[in-house]
Structure 1
Amino acid sequence: MEIRFQSSPAETKTMDTARLRQEYLIDTLFQEGKIELVYTHVDRLIVGSAVPTKEPLFLPTDKKVIGVDYFLERREIGVLNIGPKGIVTVDGTDYELDTKECLYIGKGNKEVWFKSADPANPARFYLLSTTAHASYPTVKVTADQAEPTHLGSIENSNERTIYKYIHAKGAQSCQLVMGLTELKPGNMWNTMPSHVHNRRSEVYLYFNVKDDAVVFHMMGEPTETRHIVVRNEQAVISPTWSIHSGVGTSNYSFIWGMGGENIDYGDMDPVVTTDLR
């Protein structure tokens, strides 16, 4: 399991492009036949992926990193499939996940396996895990069951729909909040005006980014902004003090996930565009 340490705002504003990418960009996800996991000291989130091909993949435990006998002994995890149909097996119970379906798995489950319905056309499971002090039931959420919120306008190039899967009014969790956002064709901006939330950290996983397209992910303190160029199926870690917004060369989708002090989706501190530097 790769480990990322936390960088301060003062340190971050001195970084060049290569160092910013090394600290905040995760570009090793979705390798066929493998589980990839990155542990970040930013709210102790674990970001990962599973792409099972010929053989099922078992969610491993790195005891040296997380100090437990099994992965979910003191954690919870959200699994969102962005590929073809797959199966997640939790302590012997199978859950089929089609494209854009999500599974919340609570603290205390000992064995988690990932399998593709068609190994030649594998599922692409995105994983996000937070620490947990309470147990909640394992729950599957389909795309139709996710709570939609329509925002933006074509005039501002940010017409989009936010789908909430794991949140206070959906799948219950201890600390994890998770969903996805889809921009409509002709729209490029997300989360602008931007915000920070000093009580929670966030991770963005960009997907449905065309091969010849990129997304410029905006980050940093509101008065010390930076950008990271992101391509398809790459993730960016966003600490509490950083804005998190993006603009693409065409429309795209992204999974957002948060962990921290609460599970209130609306808990954020807005930053007006006139204050950005």
Structure 2
Amino acid sequence: MERRYASHPNEVKQFDTQRLRKEFHIPTLFTPDQLELVLTHEDRLIIGGAAPVNDEIKLETELKELGVSFFLERRELGAINVGGPGSVVVDGTEYELNTKDCLYVGKGSREVIFKSKDAAKPAKFYLNSAPAHQEFPTAKTTLADAESGALGSIENSNERTIHRFIHENGIQSSQLVMGMTQLKTGNMWNTMPAHVHPRRMEAYMYFDLAEDAVVFHLMGEPDETRHIVIRNEQAVISPSWSIHSGVGTSNYTFIWGMAGDNKAYADMDAVAIKDLK
């Protein structure tokens, strides 16, 4: 498991492109038959991916990093499948996940195994794990069952649908919040006007991008913005003090995950477009 440390905004404003990418960009999430994990010290969120093809993948890592005897002893997990049909086995109970289905796995679950139904169309499980201080039951939701809403307009190139999976009115968790935003064809902007929420950090994982397409992800303090170029199935870490917005060369989908002091999706501090620099 790779470790990333938290950064102060006064330091980040001095970073060049290489340093920005090293600290915040996660280029590899899905390696066949391997578990990829990145631990950020921003609210100690773990961001990762499991891509079972020919073999099952167990949720495990060097436990000294977490100070526990098994991965979810003091953690919870959200898994969203962005590949072909697959399943997640939690302590012997199997949950089938089709594309864009979500599974929440609660604190105290001892064994988690990721599987693909067909090696020719393997599943790809995007993972977020946050520290948890209360147990909640394992629960699954589909894209159709998620709390969804339309935002934006074609005039502003940001017509999109937001699907909330793990949140205060959906699947219950200790602190983890996860969902998915799909931009409609002809729309490129996400999360604009921008915002920050100093009470929670956030991570984005962009996918449904063509091989030659990119997203210019915007980050930084509102008056000290920077950008990171993101390609298909890559993630980016957003500290609580940073905006998290972006524009693509085409439409795309992204998964957002948050950890912090509350689970209130609407708790954000808006930034007027005129104030961005």
Q: TM-score range by the shorter chain?
A: over 0.9
Instruction: Supply the AA of the counterpart residue of 2:219.
Output: M
Alpha-carbon contact 1:83-1:125 (below 8 Å) kept: yes
Which position in structure 2 is the counterpart of 1:79?
79
> SS state of the match for residue 161, structure 1?
strand
Looking at structure 2, the residues matched to 34 and 58 of structure 1 have their Cα atoms a distance apart, in angstroms, of 9
Looking at structure 1, the residues matched to 53 and 200 of structure 2 have their Cα atoms a distance apart, in angstroms, of 35
Which position in structure 2 is the counterpart of 1:121?
121
Map 1:125-136 to 2 at 5 A: 125-136=125-136
Q: Which moved more, 1:242-251 or 1:52-61?
A: 52-61
How far residue 7 of structure 1 moved from its aligned partner, in angstroms, is 0.9
How far residue 265 of structure 1 moved from its aligned partner, in angstroms, is 0.6
Which position in structure 1 is the counterpart of 2:23?
23
Looking at structure 2, the residues matched to 62 and 176 of structure 1 have their Cα atoms a distance apart, in angstroms, of 22
How far residue 248 of structure 1 moved from its aligned partner, in angstroms, is 0.3
Deviations 1:69-119 (A, max 9, x none): 111000000000001100100000000000000000000000000000012
Looking at structure 2, the residues matched to 253 and 70 of structure 1 have their Cα atoms a distance apart, in angstroms, of 32
Moved over 6 A (4+): none
How far residue 149 of structure 1 moved from its aligned partner, in angstroms, is 1.1
Residue segments in structure 2 that go unaligned for 5+ positions in a row: none
Looking at structure 2, the residues matched to 212 and 60 of structure 1 have their Cα atoms a distance apart, in angstroms, of 34
> SS state of the match for residue 217, structure 2?
strand
1:222 aligns with 2:222: yes
Which position in structure 2 is the counterpart of 1:253?
253
Instruction: Supply the AA of the counterpart residue of 2:158.
Output: N
Instruction: Supply the AA of the counterpart residue of 2:108.
Output: G
Instruction: Supply the AA of the counterpart residue of 1:265.
Output: Y
Instruction: Supply the AA of the counterpart residue of 1:158.
Output: N
Which position in structure 2 is the counterpart of 1:155?
155
Map 1:1-277 to 2 at 5 A: 1-277=1-277
Looking at structure 2, the residues matched to 122 and 211 of structure 1 have their Cα atoms a distance apart, in angstroms, of 18
How far residue 54 of structure 1 moved from its aligned partner, in angstroms, is 1.1
> SS state of the match for residue 72, structure 2?
helix
How far residue 61 of structure 1 moved from its aligned partner, in angstroms, is 3.1
Identity across aligned pairs (percent)? 63
> SS state of the match for residue 171, structure 1?
coil
Alpha-carbon contact 1:61-1:69 (below 8 Å) kept: no
Q: Which moved more, 1:53-62 or 1:190-199?
A: 53-62
Deviations 1:14-41 (A, max 9, x none): 0000000000000011111111000000
How far residue 120 of structure 1 moved from its aligned partner, in angstroms, is 2.4
Alpha-carbon contact 1:80-1:102 (below 8 Å) kept: yes
Alpha-carbon contact 1:105-1:137 (below 8 Å) kept: yes
Instruction: Supply the AA of the counterpart residue of 1:165.
Output: F
Looking at structure 2, the residues matched to 79 and 17 of structure 1 have their Cα atoms a distance apart, in angstroms, of 30
Looking at structure 1, the residues matched to 187 and 111 of structure 2 have their Cα atoms a distance apart, in angstroms, of 41
Looking at structure 2, the residues matched to 69 and 126 of structure 1 have their Cα atoms a distance apart, in angstroms, of 23
